[in-house]
Amino acid sequence: MDRTAYDRYFALEERHFWRVARRKLVLELLEQHRPGPGPLRILDVGGACSLIPREMQRFGPVTVIEPDAATVEFSRRELGLDVRCGGLPDKLPVEGPFDVITMLDVLEHIDDDAGALRAIRPLLRPGGLLLLTVPALPVLWSSHDVSVHHKRRYLRPGFRSLIEDNGFVVNRLSYHTSLLLPVLAPQRIADRWKGIDPHAEYNVKPPPAPVNRAFAAVMSVEASLFRRMDLPIGSSLVAVATPGPVGS
């Protein structure tokens, strides 16, 4: 991507209702479940073009792993992040232990998602925190998933098994983006009925300002519900986990 592409991406990060809501969710979960009172050593996988690693620095030093070399250079230069070129499951240019590892909408891009979880397990200290988000509900598969190079969408039971079968204990697992599902689902299902475009291009942008504000308000209501309960359905899943016993 050139600089204008990065600028467009960060405009999306700063303004799009869903991205703002997800950032607030992750930071709040990190605060609630932080594994200790002092500075935390944090590893973020795949978020070099996200505002989340920069904001997580309030909790302690953040290292980011990013597979794209141009993005690595941009994030180092423009955002001042400690970004290292690598990827999952077998190119991790870091040494543990970390107190926190975040993988935010990453697993769905990896062929071997189980191998990716096994690879990061040794990097997380005992009692450490793993935060995961993934797209949910295979019925929502559409050209959008193709455009962002998804391999799959998840259901809660299978996602729980994936996490637990690869070395972690799930402390919380909930759907997310629930209240707007009646708006999102018909669009995605209609797109699927029309036929998936194998060459679809990414064209997400903030909706018109009044719509963006309205949807942001809905996400704020959902955040209040999320603090009190797990949500039964939604277009995303969020998991909070800790390392299981060695050998699990």
Among residues of the chain, what percentage have pLDDT more than 90?
67
Q: What is the domain-level CATH number for residue 52?
A: 3.40.50.150
Q: For the whole model, what pTM was predicted? A: 0.93
User: Is residue 248 situated within a structural domain?
Assistant: no
pLDDT in tens, 169-204: 999 999 999 999 999 999 998 888 887 777 777 777
Place of tokens 């935060």: 131
pLDDT in tens, 6-53: 566 777 888 899 999 999 999 999 999 999 889 999 999 988 878 899
241 backbone dihedrals φ, ψ, rounded to 5°: -140, 165
Nearest Cα neighbor of 83 from 98, 68, 96 is 68
Place of tokens 């391999």: 151
- Domain range for 70: 3-243
The total number of structural domains in the chain stands at 1
User: Is residue 36 situated within a structural domain?
Assistant: yes
User: Is residue 147 situated within a structural domain?
Assistant: yes
pLDDT in tens, 63-80: 999 988 888 888 888 788
Higher-confidence residue: 68 or 228? 228
User: Is residue 142 situated within a structural domain?
Assistant: yes
User: Is residue 190 situated within a structural domain?
Assistant: yes
CA distance 99 to 93: 17
144: left (phi over 0), alpha (psi -120 to 50) or beta: alpha
